[in-house]
Chain A
Amino acid sequence: MTYLRPNFRHPDAPTNRIGFTEKDYEGALSTLCAGCGHDSISSAIVSACFELSIEPHRVAKLSGIGCSSKTPTYFLSNSHGFNSVHGRMPSVTTGANLANRDLIYLGVSGDGDSASIGLGQFGHVVRRNLNMLYVLENNGCYGLTKGQTSATTDLDSVNKAGVNNPFEPIDLTKLALQLGATFVARSFSGDKEQLVPLIKAAISHRGFAFIDVISPCVTFNNNPGSKKSYDFVREHCEATATIDFVPMQEEITTAYEPGSTKEVTLHDGSVIRLQKPMTDYRPDNRHAALEALHRAEQRGEILTGLLYIDEDPSDLHDTLNTVSTALNALDEEALCPGNKVLQSINRSFR
């Protein structure tokens, strides 16, 4: 087994705006099963952060437990990391974000971690609109414990032993939409052309951004009859639109036929461009998104792409009216203003 990736990269590998190559965003060599969709997602995160010229030390990656939650080791080695308790990534992220609002929060979770043990945590982080990217690496099974069906296993999906799943799945994109998430998308680990711009847009979004990434478990859930196998997903994907992300620093140079694209401008001036959108697709309408999801489901299709976005929402810090400076940047006097201030606060409650 090779534990180290060779150090050579393509001699023409470019550097980004801040002088890093993509290699500077990589992590350790994956120990997941060969062919795991999660590795492709890690690779997409690496590309997205490289292309956005994010300083690696400005990112905190947080996860729970499971195959998905191992993956932060495999990308962004130079970033902060926190591997938390099963299903509790959202509360750890909430705490971290409230303490230091200057970092980019990248939460990675799986279907077990988010839709079973962590379902409650998931609901609350959505409704609080915490400024973070929540990546759900959704393989529809418990891959780490030999592939039992999970809460997101589709109805009538056949497992490796040939048994049909009799239960309705929990669709976390629908749940997120219903609970007020301000950026909701779905993608497929095998489609980086869609996934990378979605991650870039989600990172640039100020507020809670949720991407449900279908990520086939090549060892336990890639059999015929599975609804989360590479073949099934590839055959049943239906994108809302082709997505393109133009960061704020870049000039928009490509010309498109009028009417063929929709554009969404984010708070920082970045633009999400949606090409060849589906008829009646409206990325700014929560109900339309839910309806589109239902309709695709009835057709037996998987709707991918950007489902919904609120261009400039208020996040948890706005709602709580917190101090605009990260706590670690405040001096002692500001953090501990002393007895006099405490007394006056106490007085205000009487």
Chain B
Amino acid sequence: MEVTNTADPEYFHRVVDCQYACPAHTPVPEYIRLIAQGRYDDAYMINWESNVFPGVLGRTCDRPCEPACRRGRLGKDGSEEPVAICRLKRVAADNKDNILSRLPAIPSNNNGKRIALIGAGPASLTVARDLLPLGYELVLFDEQKVAGGMMRSQIPSFRLPEKVLNEEIDFILRDQVELRLGKRVDSMKAVLDEGFDAVFIGTGAPKGKELNLPGSEECTANIHVGVSWLSSVAFEHTTRIGRRVIVLGGGNTAMDCCRTARRLGGEDVKVVVRSPRETMKASPWEIEDAEHEGIPILNNHVPKEFIVENGRLVGMRFEKVEAQYDENGKRSLVPTGEDPVVIPCDDVLVAVGQENSFPWIERDIGIEFGDWDMLKVDTRTFATTNKKVFVAGDAAIGPENIITAVAQAHQAAISIDKYCMGQAIDDRPAPGHTLISQKMGVHEWSYSSSVADDPRHVVPLIATDKALADRKVEVELGFDRQLGLEEAERCLNCDVQTVFEAKRCIECDACVDICPTDCLTMIGNSEEGQLRENLTFPARNVEQPLFISDDLATGRVMVKDENVCLHCGLCAERCPTGAWDMQKFLYRVTQAGKACQL
């Protein structure tokens, strides 16, 4: 195999699994260490710079970082759980002091450029966060009277208290953005005609899919589209629901619907899903939270009919199916032939998917549409085919999540900035990165290199009866400082990299002998497949890179399987010549501003 080029920041970036998996590439281990040191403000700011909504995301993130966490790969047969990264983020947010003075200054003179931001959700707010300190004049449009978008309308208060959201929106807007709220934008042309220098579309995927089955026409009053219903609850237009409720769908919206229904008078609430449990789209922890509140989830039930008696919805009929897979792994749901299942109900919440909806964008203003009536978008620059118009988040790519919207919006902000400054938007800024030795003494490191054995700590919850009594009571209490510290200690510090210098190595075997997980092997080089098999423990997780050193004196190479490295620093501690060193790698995605201008 070729010698690993560690000068390319993407190599070490890949080793920091959590950060690499995060769409916004938040430096996770860096802020976890700061939490462990009680430096909550610093931890919060690292998050804020990268993901804009630490308090919101610390409660609601889809946490792609956690399945990626190295710790989850260390146990025998999956017995070890990842670090509770998401809830640690909340620890930083809950314990921060007043950070107002640390927010970037907004210049008193603007730069003469005016930008429209349509939709006041996470994407538009991120663009606002990035562009406001650069002197842009921003105008924020939304149909609701308050900013926040889906974070306010679709995430229930018992998961995300309003004050947390409000605070983080205030950190962004700081009364410096012109708000045109409470009025839906009906015409893109009209917005463009106002002479904005650029327009950003951050309208999300606002339209809930409907379910047309026999009976649905006859009882519309009791069949609700999930996202609209959640929004109506959030803005207090809806305050009650029937005693018996069926929620259709297996995604996170369905989980929010059923739990909200439990708080609005629903006593017998069931989630009914077409597919097997393993393929439900909802995050496992959200399913768990719903079940914890006494909500059964019935899988493999395909809805067939709304049963209406005397013009009133009285139940639903389902057909039982099972999943079968053909040789290509394609799934089909095959009826089992059992009797249909009838579930009585008073209301049905339909949460079977969301769609984009752009009836307000005229088709003759240079903004092209592709398949499924989606905008044509460059997924690197987030430009549309109209050079003044940019789009990110769910509006650009269909329903995803907040952190993806934030990550894309940072890129869109760069494009808007470059476009307004007359620069080519295709020329993207390189990430910033540093690599610094953590050696403090002969055998002393600046980071806590010991590896804690603790199992993952469970987030304490409020008593279920209290939670169900008021939809605004937050269910999760979050880690307190002590639990936060203990959970933070579970982090392996994967950003503290094992950096190897072949010419210093005397091949004494000390590192190979001490490595707890045997991830080091000195061996003759060969092609990758062979080399992976030849190591002390075959490196069969091909998603994880191998480090290959320059040739050693004996002609062998040092090979490291990054997969199970604990970053404990013992290789460097036992190295007599300093060939191994532990160096902290900090990778930051460059954001709009001076750094990306040429």
Contacts and interface: CB of A to CB of B under 8 A. Distances in A.
Interface in A301-340: none
Which interface class (under 10, 10 to 19, 20 to 34, 35 or more) fits B?
Answer: 35 or more
B506 A222 contact: yes
Q: Which of A30, A34, A190 has most chain B Cβ within 10 Å?
A: A34
B427 to A, nearest CB: 44
Given A7-B516, A10-B519, A216-B508, 15 more contacts: A2-B449, A2-B569, A5-B516, A6-B451, A6-B516, A6-B566, A6-B570, A9-B518, A10-B537, A11-B75, A12-B538, A13-B537, A34-B510, A34-B575, A42-B513
Interface in A215-234: 216, 218-219, 222, 230-231, 234
B554 A234 contact: yes
B553 interface: yes
Nearest to A42: B513
Interface string B558-577: 00000010101110011111
A173 B522 CA distance: 29
Contact of A34 (B80, B568, B569, B574): B574
Interface in A28-57: 29-30, 33-37, 39-40, 42-43
A4 interface: yes
B330 interface: no
A328 B538 CA distance: 45
B311 to A, nearest CB: 61
Residue of A5, A30, A40 with most partner-chain B CB within 10 A: A5
Contact of A2 (B73, B450, B518, B538): B450
B509 A190 contact: yes
A6 B450 CA distance: 7
B76 interface: yes
9 contacts: A1-B442, A7-B516, A11-B74, A30-B514, A35-B508, A43-B513, A189-B509, A218-B576, A231-B506
A299 B518 CA distance: 38
Nearest to A5: B516
Contacts of B569: 2
B574 A8 contact: no
B400 interface: no
A127 interface: no
Main secondary structure of the interface of A (DSSP, over half): loop
A30 B537 CA distance: 23
A218 B575 CA distance: 10
A8 B575 contact: no
A282 interface: no
Interface in A168-198: 189-190, 192
Contacts of A2: 443, 449-450, 568-570, 573
Interface of A: 1-2, 4-13, 29-30, 33-37, 39-40, 42-43, 189-190, 192, 216, 218-219, 222, 230-231, 234
B227 to A, nearest CB: 41
| Most chain A CB inside 10 Å of its own CB: which residue of B453, B517, B519 | B517
A40 B510 contact: yes
B507 interface: yes
A43 B509 CA distance: 10
B76 to A, nearest CB: 5
B444 interface: yes
Given A2-B443, A2-B569, A35 B73 contact: no
Most B CB atoms within 10 A — which of A8, A40, A218?
A8
Nearest to B441: A1
A7 B451 contact: yes
A29 B573 CA distance: 12
Contact of B76 (A11, A29, A39): A11
B489 to A, nearest CB: 12
Nearest to A33: B576
Interface in B446-475: 449-451, 453
Nearest to A222: B506
Nearest to A219: B576
Contacts of A8: 74, 80, 451, 516-517, 564, 566
A36 B510 contact: yes
A293 to B, nearest CB: 25
